[in-house]
Structure 1
Amino acid sequence: MPALDPGRTALVLVDLMERLVALPLAPRPGTEVVSAAGRLADAFRTAGAPVVHLRAERPNVDRQPPGSGLVAELVREGEPVVVKRTIGGFQDTGLHELLSGLGATTLVLGGVATNLGVESTARAACDHGYDLVFAEDAMSALTADEHRASVDLDFPRLGTVAAVSAITLDGPA
């Protein structure tokens, strides 16, 4: 996979919330997803490329369930956190405007769950014209079959599927 341009690429991490990464995920546990996402986020930060976090909130409730915050070790001060109230990250969130303002034309996606939040966000991103890269080992689902269906069948039609270790950036923007 060719190196990505850090001036035109953003990392979008979907729903890496405490309560979600604690679920019994497959094909890998949430701890492995967080570790892989952290390595990728560090590479983006080093290259001067933006890291954007999406976090789900349940609509029409007074309080969110315990563990609804993002995994603290993944978020750095000043990084955008976009709150979504639907499965995908674009509906009524301002995500497209944020990414456009950052100059992003390519998105690298990771998160939980592969076939829900990540795939829904990817489909809308594709509709907005973004080039997509899927960090396969920085995501997981409720079952291995659901993960594989997205990774093997759907994502290749929307973009490029790659391991975190294969995703590189040209250098500082």
Structure 2
Amino acid sequence: MPALDPGRTALVLVDLMERIVALPLAPRSGTDVVAAATRLADTFRAAGAPVVHIRVERPNVDTQPPGSELVPSLVHDDDLIVVKRTIGGFHATGLHELLAERSVSTVVFGGIATNLGVESTARAACDLGYEPVFAEDAMTAFTADEHHASVSLDFPRLGTVATVSQITLDGPE
């Protein structure tokens, strides 16, 4: 996979919240996903590329369930945080505007669940003209079959599937 331009690329991590990371997940645990996402986020930060965290809030409730905050060790002060109230991360969140302000054209995705929040956000990204890259080992789902269906059937039609170690940011060629 060619190196990505940090001036035109953002990392978008979906629903890496304490209560979601703690669920029984497959093919990898939430803890493993957080570790992979942390490595990827560190790579983006070192290259000066934006890191965006999306978290879900339930609409029309006074208090969110316990564990609804992002995993604290994953979020740094300069990271961007977007709150969604639907499955995907673009609808009525300002995510598109945040990315457009930064001239982002490529979005690297990770998060939970592969086939729900990640895929829904990626499909909207395609509709908006972004080029998606999927960090396969920085995401997981409720079942291995759901994860593998997205990664092997859907994501290759939408963009590029890679591992965290294959994703590099070196600047324009």
After TM superposition, the score normalised by the length of structure 1 is 0.98
2:103 equivalent to 1:103: yes
Q: Does 1:133 align with 2:146?
A: no
Q: Point out where structure 1 has 5 or more consecutive residues left out of the alignment.
A: none
Partner deviation per Cα, 1:140-173 (whole Å, 9 max, x = no partner): 000000000000000000000000000000059x
Q: Are 2:3 and 2:171, in contact at CA under 8 Å, matched by a contact in 1?
A: no
Deviation (angstroms), 1:6: 0.2
Point out 4+ residue stretches in structure 1 off by more than 4 angstroms. Answer: none
Partner of 2:85: 85
Q: Distance in 1 between matches of 2:102 and 2:54?
A: 16
For normalisation by structure 2, the TM-score amounts to: 0.98
Q: Paired residue for 2:160?
A: 160
8 Å contact from structure 2 (residues 7, 171) kept in 1: no
The aligned counterpart of 2:26 is 26
Which sections of structure 2, spanning at least 5 residues, go unmatched?
none
User: How far has the Cα of 1:5 moved from its partner?
Assistant: 0.2
Number of residue pairs matched by the alignment: 172
CA distance in 2, matches of 1:65, 1:171: 41
Q: Specify the alignment match of 1:44 in structure 2.
A: 44
Percent of aligned pairs sharing the same letter: 77
